[in-house]
């Protein structure tokens, strides 16, 4: 091959690479924007619960449905985009698959929005069978079916994305076990030969998310048939098991995929690679098994469930925090301590993301105890814990990734040049303080037995919702600036 054609190939490859990144940048822009919009819906709900604005209860439940589905979908969209971007660093992925994923995702969003705001569907993002079919006259079965079809479209998109990732990782690392670093975890493999940390995380989250989506698709299709042919019924307890298996896995996958950004980006700031150690490899395989078996902690109110499944849910809940915190939060502390850590908005948000995620598992584990769950189950303790590891966890990681994609040109050339300006510090603090205050109010309200999912609150609960609204406004302010900053970074990079 001549030098010239070599050069041509490199240039062409770079062109392909940039176009691929273009799709990633667009997906993150959409994700960031939807986060802001969904947070505004969240604020409206909190204002309504605080008695500061008046909205019809039916509208509240539509907003709650849109907020839940929109947030979970966007968290997983941004997580999967992070997974795609970094997997692509290690194995070349087919760009067309990502575009198909994005297209199916957007099609699903259109269906879901139409189902809610045109069709009036308000049965919550969890579509618990047979609720979609029992609207009490608030929506037609067709609206519920459209909502579920939107999920199917999004699910197919995710399957395509994960299958492309799985196919390439399996080929490059010698099978599923190779990509999960099993030779190192359970054999005589050496750390030097193990796949990068991001690859292990990508393989593990791909496996469980595929399983979750397949089970989810089955119960979605059954529910759609039930809506169209009411004579066709499904065992409600089985459907609930399938839905919560899917829901638990899907939202966990969002976070576990987001963490890949931490493994891949933080080394640039510490100057030390995130190593695939034996403990790391074992932990990810264990996390994979736990994620698949812990979902019964959502069914503790279901007396008809076999007792052993609930006990398993509780026990696995205890342990599922440990490997995760050991290989991510603890390692992160070690990496940061031992290095001359550089701070900028990106690294600060990524570290906050790990902290928020780790802290959020604590109230989650508490709620995963059967005796506690009996009391706390339908209180705001529940949104309290999941807003902690989502708002201060996955979402912080997603915005950290976006800040990193558009970091200052000097920092792109030389990571040592990264710095946290005064304005960035203020922005970061606004987000962290607003987010912490917001989730704390949920947890306090939960401890005081304020119920969740109530459109109208008793007068004595209203001050809580009002305080939460102030914190939410701070978060929204910060996040709006994150998105604008990202957008201006994209424009700067284009010119
Ligand atoms: C400023 C940010 C946010 C605000 C103001 C907000 C507000 C709310 C409110 C008021 C509720 C209903 C609570 C209740 O049951 O009484 C809720 C539920 C929920 N939120 Fe958020 N939220 C925010 C951010 C997020 C984020 C970042 C996520 C996920 C990535 C998220 C996911 C959810 C989910 C899944 C529900 C449950 C809906 C249901 O019960 O069906 N939220 N949020
Ligand atoms: Cu769960």
Domains of the chain by residue range: 3-347
Q: Is the confidence at residue 9, as pLDDT, over 60? A: no
Q: How confident is the model at residue 184 (pLDDT cuts 50, 70, 90)?
A: very high
Computed over every residue of the chain, the mean pLDDT equals 93
* Long-range contacts, 328-333 (Cβ 8 Å, 24+): 328/259, 328/262, 328/354, 328/357, 328/358, 329/354, 329/355, 329/357, 329/358, 331/274, 331/280, 332/262, 332/266
Of the listed ranges 6-20, 116-130, 141-155, the one predicted with least confidence: 6-20
- Average pLDDT on 241-255 reads 97
DSSP state of 137: T
- Ligand 1 atom 20, closest CA: 68
- Ligand 1 atom 8, closest CA: 42
CATH number 3.40.50.10490 is the correct assignment for the domain at 3-347:
no
DSSP state of 450: P
CA 54 / ligand 2 centre spacing (Å): 33
Test site for ligand 1: of 34, 55, 64, 438, most ligand atoms within 8 A of the Cβ: 64
Q: How confident is the model at residue 342 (pLDDT cuts 50, 70, 90)?
A: confident
Which has the closest alpha carbon to 287: 203, 368, 345?
Answer: 203
Q: What is the atom index within ligand 1 of the atom nearest the CA of 46?
A: 10
Percentage of the chain lying above the pLDDT 90 cut: 80
**Residues 352, 279: Cα–Cα separation, whole Å:** 23
CA 294 / ligand 2 centre spacing (Å): 7
Three-class SS of 208-230: HHHHHHHHHHHHHHHHHHHHHCC
**Residues 60, 48: Cα–Cα separation, whole Å:** 8
- Ligand 1 atom 19, closest CA: 68
Task: Please return the burial class of 417, using the count of CB atoms within 10 Å of its CB with bins 0-12, 13-18 and 19+.
Answer: middle
Q: What is the atom index within ligand 1 of the atom nearest the CA of 35?
A: 27
- Ligand 1 atom 7, closest CA: 42
Q: How confident is the model at residue 131 (pLDDT cuts 50, 70, 90)?
A: very high
Q: How confident is the model at residue 437 (pLDDT cuts 50, 70, 90)?
A: very high
Q: How confident is the model at residue 5 (pLDDT cuts 50, 70, 90)?
A: very low
pLDDT of residue 320: 78
- Average pLDDT on 286-307 reads 90
pLDDT of residue 7: 44
CA 365 / ligand 2 centre spacing (Å): 10
pLDDT of residue 395: 98
Pocket of ligand 1 from Cβ distances under 6 Å: 39, 42-43, 45-46, 64, 67-68, 71-72, 75, 124-126, 380, 383, 387, 390-391, 395, 452-453, 472, 475-476
Test site for ligand 1: of 71, 441, 477, 481, most ligand atoms within 8 A of the Cβ: 71
Q: 137: alpha, beta or left, given left = phi > 0 and alpha = psi -120 to 50?
A: left
Q: Is the confidence at residue 159, as pLDDT, over 80? A: yes
- Average pLDDT on 149-157 reads 98
Of the listed ranges 234-243, 291-300, 348-357, 429-438, the one predicted with least confidence: 291-300
Which has the closest alpha carbon to 88: 153, 156, 23?
Answer: 23
- Average pLDDT on 326-338 reads 88
Q: Is the confidence at residue 340, as pLDDT, over 90? A: no
Count of other CB atoms within 10 angstroms of residue 146: 23
């Amino acid at each position: 091959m001549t030098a010239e054609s070599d050069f041509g190939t490199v240039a062409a490859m770079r062109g392909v690479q940039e176009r691929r990144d273009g799709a990633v940048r667009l997906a993150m822009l959409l994700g960031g924007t939807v986060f802001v919009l969904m947070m505004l819906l969240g604020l409206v709900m909190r204002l309504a619960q605080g008695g500061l604005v008046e909205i019809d209860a039916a509208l509240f439940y539509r907003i709650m449905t849109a907020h839940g589905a929109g947030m979970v979908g966007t968290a997983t969209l941004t997580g999967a985009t992070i997974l795609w971007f970094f997997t692509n660093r290690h194995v070349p992925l087919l760009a067309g698959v990502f575009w198909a994923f994005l297209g199916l995702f957007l099609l699903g969003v259109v269906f879901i929005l139409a189902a809610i705001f045109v069709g009036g569907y308000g049965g919550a993002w969890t579509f618990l069978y047979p609720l979609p079919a029992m609207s009490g006259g608030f929506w037609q079965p067709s609206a519920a079916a459209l909502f579920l079809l939107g999920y199917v479209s999004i699910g197919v998109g995710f399957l395509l994305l994960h299958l492309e990732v799985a196919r390439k990782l399996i080929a490059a690392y010698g099978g599923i076990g190779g990509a999960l670093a099993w030779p190192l975890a359970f054999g005589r493999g050496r750390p030097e030969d193990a796949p990068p940390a991001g690859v292990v995380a990508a393989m593990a989250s791909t496996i469980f998310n595929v399983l979750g989506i397949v089970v989810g698709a089955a119960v979605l299709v059954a529910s759609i048939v039930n809506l169209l042919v009411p004579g066709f019924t499904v065992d409600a307890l089985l459907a609930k098991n399938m839905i919560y298996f899917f829901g638990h896995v899907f939202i966990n996958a969002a976070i576990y995929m987001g963490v890949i950004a931490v493994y891949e980006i933080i080394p640039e700031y510490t100057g030390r690679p995130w190593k695939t150690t034996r403990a790391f490899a074992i932990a990810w395989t264990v996390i994979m098994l736990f994620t698949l078996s812990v979902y019964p902690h959502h069914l503790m109110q279901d007396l008809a469930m076999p007792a052993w499944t609930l006990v398993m849910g509780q026990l696995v809940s205890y342990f599922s925090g440990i490997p995760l915190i050991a290989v991510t939060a603890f390692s992160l502390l070690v990496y940061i301590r031992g290095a001359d850590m550089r701070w900028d908005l990106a690294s600060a948000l990524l570290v906050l993301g790990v902290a928020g995620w780790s802290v959020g598992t604590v109230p989650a584990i508490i709620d995963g105890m059967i005796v506690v769950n009996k009391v706390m189950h339908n209180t705001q303790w529940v949104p309290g814990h999941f807003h902690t590891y989502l708002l201060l966890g996955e979402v912080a990681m997603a915005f950290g990734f976006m800040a990193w994609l558009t970091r200052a040109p000097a920092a792109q050339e030389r990571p040592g040049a990264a710095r946290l300006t005064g304005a960035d510090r203020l922005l970061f603090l606004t987000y962290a303080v607003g987010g912490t205050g917001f989730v704390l109010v949920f947890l306090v309200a939960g401890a005081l037995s304020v119920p969740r999912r109530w459109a109208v609150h008793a007068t004595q609960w209203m001050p809580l919702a009002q305080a939460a609204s102030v914190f939410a406004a701070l978060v929204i302010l910060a996040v709006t600036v994150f998105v604008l900053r990202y957008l201006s970074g994209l424009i700067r990079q284009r010119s």
